[in-house]
Structure formats: C-alpha cells, structure tokens
Amino acid sequence: MNMAGIERVRADNFKQFDCVTDFSDHHYHARSKSKEKKNGSINNKNTVKRIMKEWEILEKSLPESIYVRVYEGRIDLLRAAVIGARKTPYHNGIFFFDLKFPPDYPNSPPKVCYRSFGLRLNPNLYATGYVCLSLLNTWGGIGTERWCPEKSTILQLLLSLQGLVLNEKPYFNEPGIKPAWSWESYNANVFVLSCKTMLFLCRNPPKNFEGLIAEHFRGNAGDILRACVEYLEGRVRVGFFNGDGAGADAPVSSKKKKIKVSRKFKGAVAELYPKLYQAFNGVGASLIGLPEKINVSESPAGGIIGKLKRFWKKITA
C-alpha cells in the first residue's frame, strides 16, 4: 500500500506521542486480577531500557496518521490510534489498539487487544479484540514475518496493522482459495462496520483521545458522508473513494457503468447516515449543503449526488 495515500488528520493541537496518567480504561489494566506495581510487572532493567528506547523511536518516527499514548505510572501499557488509509474501506476510520509489554520484553512480543466494540471488520481483528498477526506470533510466518527480539519494534507493529491489516482488500487476508469477486461484498460490509465504529467512538471515546476523535471527525465529516452517498449510488466501488467523487480502479462516467449495489448495503448505509450526521454535528463539523438523511427510494443517479457535486463545486470555485 502507498502510505502517502493516508489521510492527514486535522488535529494540530493533539500530540502524536505523549505520556499521560489515566490508564483506567486500558484493556490490560482492567483485566488485572491483582494490584499492579508502579511499572506494572516490569522489574527487569533491560526490559525497562528497551521500553524507553521504544518510546524514543515512536516519539521521533510516528507517521502523521498514527497516535500513541504511554503511561507515567504503567510503562508496561501503551495505546495507539491508527487512521485508516485512503482508497480502503477503512478510510477516515480510527482504530484503537491497547498494548502490554510482557516482563521479558523484547524476548516475547507485546500483547495486543483491538478495541472492537464487538464488531469484526477484518479477518485479522476478532470481535473479542484478539489480533491475529505473524509479527505477534499469533499466526504462522517465517523469518522477519515473526517477532524478532533484536529487530522488531512497536513502530513496525503499528505500521503493519495500518498497511498490511487495514488494507484495500482485507477479504484476502484470510488464507485459502476464495472466489475473486467476493472481495467487493466484503468491502461493503467492512465499510458499514467501520461507520458503526465511528459512532461508538463519538459516543464513548477512549480516555486521552477525546480531542483527537472530535477534531478528526470535525475535519473529515464531509468526506465520510459523501463517501456514503457515492457508494450507495454505485458511483465508486466500496473502498476506493478518494475524497473528490472519483474512485481509483473504478471510474464511473455513465449510467451504463454504474456499480451494482446490494439492497442490504443500501439499507445499512441509509440507516447509518443520519446517525453519522448527528454525531458529526455534535462535535462541531461543518455540514452545510449535506443532506441530513438519505432516502434510498429517492436516490437515483443525479439526485442527492448531483446536489452534492454542485455544492462542492460552488464552494471550491
């Protein structure tokens, strides 16, 4: 995947890397059965030194689309927010991962839990939060595909989650022979689940990331809502909306080239759209010119999308 295609988050006041104090909603803190020591269960000096090195790498080298928080009182915990890349069904979504360093780190890879809200929007990310990935030794692999204590880093892990897991055709992440055409229906389902995740995040943002979530959706609400309409009207294949009404690998210029859209997908998007509109309005997004809801029975080519195109053409002229 071309990582240059990842949407830049408009969150100038939100640091990409920071050390905070409140870890009360972190997955691995909540699961602790006994009172943790100040640094969790980390007592080995070499492990502490390596974790500090990881912090340094993250602070200096994080791409603009990944945000990390570490904890002053629990150096064994870390939380990361990964922004979905353009031209994928995850575009403009925010995906959270809670990490825990084991006592013998880096000899063993970190534990990772995906904040799923009970949704499975990728073959590698289970509804339980389980993350299946060779780099975590939770899936098969050889050589550098698996965790290497001398070379593997948290930055490498986060980039793998963003580029290899949250990719343009996640259907093929699952091993085995499959009908090639099925990736499109899988992408459609993923987009719906990604939109549901957005709603969950707006209603219940993870601690220390409230500002990022609000600012991200304030800045990207228009793109998200327009993508809903483009996909619903069959003008762009799901997962290939690029922000200006065109879709890579799926140009649409006439009625004859319309992409077939399932009734199930149309119904799901039409139901989600007004909820997204309200959620984005709640964080202060500018929604002028965008419809508050979509009536599927009244959304033929040239209807809603025509109004949106005229509006965006007018304000960008």
For the chain, the average pLDDT equals 86
The contacts of residue 111 (CB under 8 Å, 6+ apart) are 28, 99, 100, 102
In this predicted structure, what is the pLDDT of residue 245?
47
Extract the runs of DSSP E, i.e. beta strands, from 72-142: 74-83, 94-100, 111-114
Q: How many helices (H) and strands (E) does the chain have?
A: 7, 5
Using alpha carbons, list the distances in angstroms from residue 169 to 3, 107, 135, 212, 303. Answer: 15, 33, 20, 27, 29
pTM of the model: 0.85
- Asked whether residue 141 carries a pLDDT value surpassing 80, the answer given is no
Residues 247-300: tens digit of each pLDDT: 444 444 344 478 999 999 999 999 999 999 999 999 999 999 899 998 876 444
By three-state DSSP, how is residue 34 classified? Answer: coil
Q: Which of 193, 66, 180 is nearest to 126 (CA)?
A: 193
Residues 143-200: tens digit of each pLDDT: 677 899 999 999 999 999 999 999 999 999 988 767 777 899 999 999 999 999 999 9
In this predicted structure, what is the pLDDT of residue 143?
61
Active-site annotation holds for 132 = yes
Q: Which of 19, 132, 195, 228 is catalytic?
A: 132
Report the C-alpha gap between 315 and 265 in whole angstroms: 30
